[in-house]
Structure 1
Amino acid sequence: MSELAKILLVEDEEEIAMLERDYLEISGYEVDILSDGFHAVERVLKGDYDLLILDLMLPGKSGYDICREIRDQVDIPILMVTAKTESVDKVRGLGLGADDYIAKPFDPAELVARVKSHLKMYERLKNAGRDERTENEEGVIRVGNLRIMTKSWKVYKGNQEVKLANKEFELLSFLASNPNRVFSKEHLVEKIWGYDYLGDGATVTVHINRIREKIEEDSSNPKYIETIWGAGYRFNA
């Protein structure tokens, strides 16, 4: 990024927060720390941050509540950090709009790698948005009343823009670019999140459900993204 990326780290365990901050600052990021959930929403909305690292269990307000309140108001990557490892907790966090999920204990270098990956993706999204006016039909996928603009990372349902998180857009764009082909959850995890991602197929399921809620007329009876039981997902062109 052209300037130092600014990160808000919401973590109530001081030693962990200091360690994470040190690794991130060594890697060239500007880091602010907040130790409770009381003021997190206000700080995120007013702080002009590029990425949020959000602990799940916080005094005052949980990471779930914070994510729910800010997701539709800020378009930045949200990385949830938690000691909980149950799939239901991960699914809930992703369902509220988190872009990624990392469980304690973890190697701080892995956190830095995740941060770099999401910021790179976010920068790509912003740069694409600046060039939207020059986008030609080669960068547009049209299916039914959907327009998927692969260069500017925007999606329209009819004339209404549909707001998708970064991973949601990547997943939809990949499926739509490969219509009528079935992809397993494992393949989609590797393609969208990368080979070193520690998540599982539940991550894909959550993102598919969120996409359906936004683009389908009836998310319980999807027309575009079809579930092929025992095999994966297919985008119907």
Structure 2
Amino acid sequence: MSDKPVVILVEDDAAIAELIEYNLRSEGFSVQKFSRGAEMLKVLPQYSDVVLFILDLMLPEMDGFEICRRIRSDETMDLTPVMMLTARSTESDKVRGLEAGADDYVTKPFGIREFLARVNAHVRRKNLVGRAVDAQVFSDNHSPSHKKSFSNTMNQEGHRLNQTIELDGLLLDDVRHRVYLNDHEVEMTNREYELLKFLMTNKGIAYSRDELLNHVWGYEYVGETRTVDVHIRQLRKKIEKDDANPELIETVRGRGYRFKEG
């Protein structure tokens, strides 16, 4: 098996699949291409070094939503980013994709340069998270019953390598990669977790949608920024007492979003 990082592509349009495969191989990736989700899932256990999944949404037999849900149910793939490709751009589809655990949603047709930039950003972020997890030592003093504030240790890319933070009954445990609300665990996708972590780490600071995309998604985003709005909406449903009247994640008119200070 190749020692190149593996990208798994599920796309039933042969022309699009060949275009993506050619460009990904040019970027140094090993591409495993499938036209059916069931076919891919059957052989998935053979691949332990997958750095990214790219899933077409409208597939026969099993759509991209279901494939994504099944990937996310595998603990070994929990931190592996998922990009969805689709010709449908309605917000309801985007919400469904994000709820299924997708990290990104790319609408066809797309520019190949932007597409590759987003691919590389997701892979860099996965590698960064993987190194941080490997470097952490799991111990009892990071449990929800043992409260401690964030450290300010910075890694080489300028990101804080924090441990736990608690604000208004909301606890983010960056060692175990878990979130608790009033001592009850809150299930989150990896991207929701990263967005919440960034906002909590930088509480009181207002960020534009473009800035959040750059910091959390890891690329200079070109195009619509509704991805951030959809993720914020999903976070509010999970952590706010009343998501229609949020108290933790505030909307800053004309600017974007911030996590409440104090």
- How many residues align structurally? 234
Name the SS of the counterpart of 2:37 in structure 1. coil
Q: State the one-letter code of the partner of 2:87.
A: A
Query: What is the rounded CA distance, in whole Å, between the counterparts of 2:41 and 2:243 in structure 1?
Result: 30
CA distance in 1, matches of 2:191, 2:43: 24
Out of 169, 177, 186, the position equivalent to 1:154 is 177
Kindly provide the CA deviation profile for residues 74-125 of structure 1, in whole angstroms up to 9, marking residues without a partner as x: 3210011112233433333223221112222223343322211101100111
Secondary structure of 1:168's partner?
helix
In structure 2, the residue corresponding to 1:18 is in which secondary structure? Answer: helix
Q: What is the match of residue 123 of structure 1? A: 127
Report the equivalent of 2:228. Answer: 204
8 Å contact from structure 1 (residues 186, 200) kept in 2: no
Q: Which residue of 2 aligns with 1:26?
A: 26
Q: Specify every segment of 5 or more residues in structure 1 that has no aligned partner in the other structure, as ranges.
A: none
What is the match of residue 12 of structure 1? 12
| Residues 5 and 30 in structure 2, CA contact (< 8 A), matched pair in contact too | yes
Report percent identity of matched pairs: 38
Change (3 A) 1:61 1:191: same
Structure-2 residue corresponding to 1:225: 249
Q: CA deviation at 1:180?
A: 2.6
Shift of 1:218: 5.7
In structure 2, stretches of 5+ residues that fail to align are 143-147, 152-161
For normalisation by structure 2, the TM-score amounts to 0.74
Q: Does 1:132 align with 2:136?
A: yes
RMSD: 3.0
AA paired with 2:96?
Answer: R
Contact 1:94 1:207 in 2 (8 A): yes
TM-score of the pair, normalised by structure 1: 0.81
1:4 match: secondary structure: coil
Quote the residue 1:91 is aligned against: 95
C-alpha separation between the residues in 2 aligned to 1:143 and 1:34? 44
Q: Which amino acid is the alignment partner of residue 64 of structure 1?
A: F
SS in 2 for 1:197: coil
